[in-house]
Amino acid sequence: METKKMSVPNISCGHCVMAIKRELGEIKGISKVEGDPQRKEITVTWDAPASLEKIKSTLRTINYPVAD
């Protein structure tokens, strides 16, 4: 199991976090998604077949790209 905290500058409110939770929750293997709109961060916990690249790709697709 892997857990990663990521900076997502496009997060502005709780609705953004809910949208991210909904979309990432559809990826097989993701077990937990938490977000903090004030810090503009999300924390994702997953197992295979989910991957960090799949998570980042999904976030880009829904207009919440991860800051490098």
What are the domain boundaries of the chain? Answer: 2-61
Share of the chain above pLDDT 90, in %: 99
Q: What is the pLDDT of residue 49?
A: 97
Question: What's the mean pLDDT in 27-32?
Answer: 98
What band does 64 get if pLDDT is binned at 50, 70 and 90? Answer: very high
Question: What's the mean pLDDT in 8-21?
Answer: 97
pTM value is: 0.93
Q: What is the pLDDT of residue 46?
A: 98
CATH architecture label of 2-61: 2-Layer Sandwich (3.30)
Q: Are 52 and 4 in contact (CB under 8 A)?
A: yes
Rounded distance between C-alpha atoms, residue 62 and residue 2, angstroms: 22
Inform me whether the pLDDT recorded for 68 exceeds 90. no
